Structure 1
Amino acid sequence: MISRRLFLGAVAAAAVSGCTPDVLGLSRSVRVAVSWSGTELRAFHSVLDGLGDLEYPVEVVPLGDDISTAFGPRSARRPDIVMLPQPGLVPRHLRDLDPIPAELVDRNREPYWDELLVHDGTTYGLPFKTAHKSAIWYRPSVLKQVGAEPPRTWSEWLALNRSLSLAGIRPLALGAGDGWVLTDFLENVLLGSAPAAYRALAVADDPRPSQVSAFAAALRLLGTMWSAPGTLAGGVERSLVQQFPDAIVEVFGHHRAAMVLATDFAEPVVRSFAVDPADVGLFTFPALSRGAAPPVVVGGDVIVLPRPTTDDARDLVRRLAAPAAADPWIATGGFLADGRTTGYSPELTRLAEQLVAPGSSPQFDLSDRLGQLGDLNGLWRVLTDFLIRIGNRGSDVVPEAVESALAELKQVES
């Protein structure tokens, strides 16, 4: 039996989109499961509204962090389309998915998608929304106070943090309540310092990061930043209970920090809470050493079709795949379309151009590639414990904390 909360959520979501659900059995709607909420969910409804008159109703079912339940046992509530925020799940659910219609497959899309979405020559997922996970939002006025520019290397970033701390300004707001913020940080450090090791872990059949020396080295590098006294706004205690929107408000609303690591989809939150709309800047994760390539980590949401697929579901996917379909969301901010570089704010234009720039080598979110090892009870928990051991406590605690993190990770691997 459908729960009251899910029933009311589905009806409310469908009402917002102007579509009629079939919860009373009056019509056969196309059910779309999504993880989005708040402004993102409203933006997706605007996309649906922009598709014009449809010959079928559309029911949007917001599942939040429970999106993986869309692949549960077959039932009358099984969604027809899933907007999947973890493309790494696709290889694990091939038996549950129908292929994407061949005419919708973009042969020119970025190669990191094919590694996850194409199996034995068949495509099982269609990129809808790209997430740039190497973006740092900041207030330019604060950097000007200490006569600094956005850092170009990791050592320059550490130096900037010291300058800000000496001036009584907390450099970093950290949304550690969202474990993916911590994994994004580590992934950027690992990709920037040891790209070959990153790739090897991403494609390994049985990844064992605890046994990779470059992974341990990346933890030590990350520890130098998180452990520096005065770096984290509110200390470890506040960082642990902050989700990423809270950390953004710390920077742009409360002015208790100078910068925050947050993806492109943070843009609407930044714009909503910025006390001074002109005091918004963005730089991308700096190179780990002079002359090295800066890391570019990406994620995203993909469209998949749970079996059995209906003609109406395939028609809706065709409409969502049209180049102009996402324009309403792009207009509200916080959306990057795969391969597209126009129509964005200046900040997101920079991110979009970096993703397709010659010589740029974006790599997909490692924690997603690691499967269960990279999720809530794996790398998320390990990095949360690592932060607790080192946050604002000075570099002397880092070596022991790294060893503890590797030992904890080894237990997860086994």
Structure 2
Amino acid sequence: MARRTTLTLNPTVSSRSSRRRLIAVPALLAALALTAACSNSSGGSGDGGGGGGQSLSGDCAKYQPYAGHSGTTVTMFASILSPESDNLEKSWAEFSRCTGIRISYEGSNDFESQLPVRVAGGNTPDFAIIPQPGLLAQMVKSGKVVKPPAGTVANQDRWSPVWKTYGSVNGTFYAAPMSANMKSLVWYSPKSFKAAGYEVPKTWADLMALSERIARAGAAKPWCGGIASGTATGWPATDWLEEVVLGTYGGEVYDQWVGHRVKFSDEKITTAMRTVADWMQNPAWVNGGYGDVKSIATTTFQDAGAPLLTGKCLMLQQASFYKAQWPKDTRIGPDGDIFAFHLPAVNPAIPSPVEGGGEFLTAFASRPEVQAVQNYLSSSEWASSRVRTATGWVSANQGVDKSLYTDPIDRLSADALTDPGATFRFDASDMMPAAVGSGQEWKSLTAWFAEGQSIQKTAADIDAAWPQ
């Protein structure tokens, strides 16, 4: 599941409004003058671009294709919270200043449950950033999703064709990919490894042997873990299962599982669940710094890695976007406080399995200013701007110069996501129907960890939730 939230929430709209009212008049006039220097409002075009009568100059000239809609506002709803959402808003700040289009952003830890409620209740945002193709399909079925304009469609030429399929429902393209992330990482402390004489494992067998060696040494638990995430509690456990299924059986069985041609109760999947249990439900191996196996269900995924910095656990399986959770003064790199390595395949015959996730910009309105924002946020120019705002964010947009990735984790992830020899697959639970992938599977896997529920019942309950 491609969750990218953090615990620190954005300031509320009311608090932002209060701060705006405190701006001194001279500062306000200066801001208005700056905006006027870059844009002059006028009517816009029907495809969200063309500039109309609004002429942009200087640093703003590059936004001319999106001009003509000054003074308008579009709303956006997503699961991305501060501090990551702060960087997201920075990525379009210049676009907003130059074009005069304000993007009113709201993040929620209950995004997946709240979006359908808002859409059904008529409180639909102009945009939603949806991390699950299954949820996208549910929204398309509501009849409220608007097909993207021609400019957004044209921008898909800069992505591998498979990404367009992830943003499509029944062969029709609806949602442009915005980001990509590498799920198949293990975070660790190079400092702790070096002090104990441990080496980064290259195979699954080596990883399991290292885990046993760490446990026997007794100074720390080999693994940390946390799957609590508000109404999305359970999603990290789906990643662990997906990594094992892909790394054991490869892409073909993985695809059959996503389509329920291979059920959760199939021997292949229950065998994969036993592999996960031997790994992340091993009482001798988890949950360093927090408690026993059941504590994984009550530890937030954001907090799960903190014991790596204190030496209470030595490894955490989490996605590339977890980088945003480390304290700002954390040194990240091969010789730093924290780094990561590629999770090895369970079956060495599977070539470089890579599970990834992503986010898709979905529109519920077709006003010209909405289309202008849609065209910009699907462009290579925006993706490059987003890379520049902060580390910890990766795009599979081929128009992004890889030299922009100054962070070693980002570069590691970008290389893996674009490796033509890798066995890449999108997050399975995000591809499954929303009732399963972001519903019953989260619930059942949480019960598997929190209550010790059997593999058989866990699998059967998920299968029973599959739409007929």
Matches within 5 A, 1:1-400: 9-12=12-15, 28-51=72-95, 52-67=97-112, 69-71=114-116, 72-73=118-119, 77-94=123-140, 95-105=143-153, 106-119=156-169, 122-168=172-218, 169-178=220-229, 179-195=234-250, 196-202=252-258, 204=259, 209-232=263-286, 233=288, 234-252=291-309, 254-272=310-328, 274=330, 278-306=336-364, 308-327=365-384, 329-331=386-388, 332-339=390-397, 340=400, 341-344=402-405, 345-375=407-437, 377-388=439-450
Structure 2 distance, partners of 1:86, 1:342, is: 29
Q: In the TM superposition, what is the alpha-carbon distance from 1:286 to its structure 2 partner? A: 0.5
- Contact between 1:129 and 1:335, CA under 8 Å: does it hold in 2? yes
**What is the CA distance between 1:409 and its match in structure 2?**
3.1
Normalised TM-score (structure 1): 0.84
Counterparts in 2 of 1:180 and 1:47: CA distance versus 1, 3 Å: same
Alpha carbons of structure 1 residues 117 and 14: separation in structure 2 relative to 1, 3 Å: farther
Q: How well do the aligned residues superpose, as a CA RMSD in angstroms?
A: 3.1
Structure 1 residues 33 and 227 mapped into 2: Cα distance closer, same or farther (>3 Å)?
closer
For 1:282, give the aligned amino acid.
A
Mark the CA change 1:186 to 1:16 in structure 2 (over 3 Å): closer, same or farther. farther
The more displaced of 138-147 and 211-220 is 138-147
User: Residue 353 of structure 2: SS of its match in structure 1?
Assistant: coil
Answer with 276-285 or 255-264: which moved more: 276-285
Tell me how far apart the structure 1 counterparts of residues 387 and 332 of structure 2 sit (CA, whole Å). 22
Q: Could you say which residue in structure 2 is the equivalent of 1:408?
A: 461
Checking the alignment, whether the CA contact within 8 Å between 2:81 and 2:107 is kept in structure 1 is: yes
| Counterparts of 2:129 and 2:279, CA distance in 1 | 35
- Say if 1:13 and 1:162 are closer, same or farther in 2 by CA, change over 3 A: farther
In structure 2, distance between residues paired with 1:32 and 1:164: 46
CA contact (8 A) 2:84 2:324 kept: no
Distance 1:239 1:120, change over 3 A: closer
Change beyond 3 A, Cα 1:13–1:295: farther
Q: For the pair shown, which has the larger CA radius of gyration, 1 or 2?
A: 2
Deviation at 1:290, TM superposition (A): 2.6
Measured in 2, the distance between the counterparts of 1:368 and 1:323 equals: 24
1:246 counterpart SS class: coil
Counterpart CA distance in 2 for 1:92 and 1:182 is 23
Measure, in 1, the Cα distance between the counterparts of 2:459 and 2:124: 40
Name the SS of the counterpart of 1:189 in structure 2.
helix
CA distance in 2, matches of 1:36, 1:318: 21
Shift of 1:207: 5.4
1 CA distance for matches of 2:112 and 2:199? Answer: 40
Give the Å deviation of 1:353.
0.6
Deviations 1:183-235 (A, max 9, x none): 00100000111122211122x2x556233221111011111112333211122
Matched residue SS, 1:248: coil
SS across alignment from 2:363: strand
The C-alpha deviation readout for 1:18-55, integer Å capped at 9, x for no partner, is 999xxxxxx75211122211111111111121324223
Q: Which amino acid letter does the alignment assign opposite residue 48 of structure 1?
A: W
CA distance 1:118–1:229, change in 2 (3 Å) = closer
For residues 409 and 253 of structure 2, the distance between their equivalents in structure 1, rounded to whole angstroms, comes to 30
Gaps of 5+ in 2: 1-8, 21-27, 33-70
- Count of matched residue positions in the alignment of Structure 1 and Structure 2: 390
Instruction: Give per-residue Cα distances to partners, 1:148-173, cap 9 Å, x unaligned.
Output: 32222221111110111112221111
Distance across 1 between alignment mates of 2:83 and 2:185: 20
Aligned match of 1:397: none
- When residues 262 and 216 of structure 1 are mapped into structure 2, their CA distance, relative to the original with a 3 A threshold, is same
Give, in whole Å, the separation in 1 of the partners of 2:176 and 2:201. 35
Q: Say which SS state the counterpart of residue 264 (structure 2) adopts.
A: helix
Higher helix share: 1
